[in-house]
Chains A and B, each alone.
Chain A
Amino acid sequence: MIELVNIVKKFEDRTILNIPYLAFEEGKRYVLMGVNGSGKTTLLRIMAGTLKPDMGEVKNIPRENMGYMPQLPYAFGFTVRKNVEIALPKSPSSTEKAMHALQAVGMDGMATAHGHTLSGGETQRMAFARMIALPHTLLLLDEPTSSADIRGMDEIETTLLRYVADTGCTTIISTHSPAQALRLAEEIIFLDKGEIVEQGSAKSVLRNPQNEDVKLFLKHWKI
């Protein structure tokens, strides 16, 4: 079980994350929700190890077997296929694995395209292919479909659910979309001003929220 204990992150005088305790069960799908600036990205970055908390500890993170897709993934200046291959250990089958991952997100036709020519949505699909090219025990995905069109979003979501079913990995995804949360989450963690204000099963949080901020947030989405 991955545990976050007394995590505090401040930016100048402003506390952007304050989590006394949070645990993630193995093999479960979690969705982080909240308005802009609620602390979703900060939480994922601390778990990924790209941001150090001012206080607290993250326990039992499988760093060697973790995939993290940032909000703005980078497409390197070589082919799309090589962009995926960099995530794989060098082996004779790495090209085949990369192509298989690209095929899963409908990007195999762009395998020889240059990374710098990709659109935002294509970059996200390529970055997601990097994540699923290897079997991980933990996936951290920061708004993985924010730039994708409906087809791209569907391909990423369908592939993700299949990948999780195959590998049994723990998945933590951030999103603004309640509809996407309903499709992907087993459990929703709702953040506001860096604190957890509601947590529970996807259906209970989305259909019967208790917290006033969550109610207000969901009112705008009319689900």
Chain B
Amino acid sequence: MADVLMSEAQTTDEAHHSSTGLSNEKLAMWVFLGSECLLFGGLISTYMFNKDRIGPDDIGPSDVFDIPFTSVSSFVLLMSSLTMVFAVSAITRGDLRSNRIWLATTAALGAVFVAGQVYEFTAFYSEGLGFTTNLFGSAFYALTGFHGAHVTIGIIMLMSLYVMSLRGNLTSERAETVEIIGLYWHFVDVVWIVIFTIVYLFPQ
């Protein structure tokens, strides 16, 4: 296994000082993201299993979803992935000011998405869909709530990078730190691509 890793490390951009020749931090992030697939896989399948298990008079997906609104917030999150790669690109070439601008833009777009989710939850609740109203409500809030929590954690990490950069602690030598946080951010985006399609767009 170590031989395979070492040979694959030859294709990476630098020889890391680890037994595998790969960046341990990046490897750890990919292992973490692989495990996150299982978390969200469980939440998505639970939603798919429970979304139709409601009574005839119960409030269901077609009663509450506002697809145009969610489409806009999905687009905002999608574009935040673009600004995130710009942030990584900027710090890789040593352009620290651009890096800060793109980090702040990414965090702002993430905040817009979370604000949209809070608005959506509030609207659904006012229409009568609480966390314990029915199985659809429980599965929906659990899935989208976990995702929203991940986005919020991502925003905190982005703002931490921004503060580090302002204090001069984030230079191009630490570009990999930005790339690793970027991997987390893109993963959150990828999960939303799946949630948006399966939860919101699949015919009810």
- Say whether A and B bind each other: no
